[in-house]
Amino acid sequence: MKRLENRICVVTGAARGIGAAICEAFLAEGAQVIATDCNETALHDFAQKQGCSAMRLDVGCEDDWNAFATQYPEIDVLVNNAGFEQGMVAHDPEHASLADWHAVHRVNLDGTFLGCRYAIGAMRNRPSGSIINISSRSGMVGIPAAAAYAASKAAIRNHSKTVALYCAQQGYNIRCNSIHPAAILTPMWEPMLGSGPERAANMAALVADTPAKRFGSPAEVAALAVMLASDEAAYMTGTELTIDGGLLAGSAAVPGS
């Protein structure tokens, strides 16, 4: 029997990158996957290719979550993966505008809150439930150029623990854990990498302070999500898992002489 057979799994931000990889991994493990994204065209192209269900969902919109709950009143797994890409807008503590700060938190934090709230109701009467929140290495350290992003991911880290404790307190068999990736090679990195002869040098420079000296892959993050969604993690709740090539372990590794 596959690890996620007979489980209804919802993934937000599923049209590309980490979300797409998680959907693919869940499908391979026998899950019934419902992919969601606010990019309706990309979402339905992905769902058609993978053979899974799909529904447009703006995670920061309460009405969208209410409509989703009507369509899917019961599920077993939710991955709150949708995240805001800040682009070239200033997000440092001195120059970030309040509007830009709110835009990041609307997706990253409000979206996770609304997703967790929906999931508790949708999992409460199931045999078990697993909520997986995608935070970030940036939620564990300060990021001078991305104040709003780092703050939102730190809040996700804490809210995951709160949800875990609340569900345990209520006697619900619902677990909540967070995953904290660092540099994962997704489409958001492409503008910084380029496509010419400089690409290899740019990639090396961006992971120079990572002990593993490489980017992680979306499939590696998806493997953690599969484990947290499965019965293998039945005693894990309120836990945070880092996947960062050793970045948070301490000083960068130095080859032996």
Sheet hosting strand 32-37, strand order edge to edge: 53-56, 32-37, 8-11, 77-80, 129-134, 174-181, 240-243
What are 227's two structure tokens? 């484990």
Does residue 149 carry a catalytic annotation?
Answer: yes
SS3 sequence of 151-209:
HHHHHHHHHHHHHHHHHHHHCCCEEEEEEEECCECCHHHHHHHCCCCCHHHHHHHHCCC
In terms of Cα–Cα distance, which of 104, 211, 222, 79 is closest to 154?
A: 104
Please say whether the dihedral angle defined by the alpha carbons of residues 151, 153, 157 and 159, taken in this order, is positive or negative: positive
In three-state secondary structure terms, 142 is coil
- Active-site residue, from 118, 149, 166, 172: 149
Catalytic residue set = 149
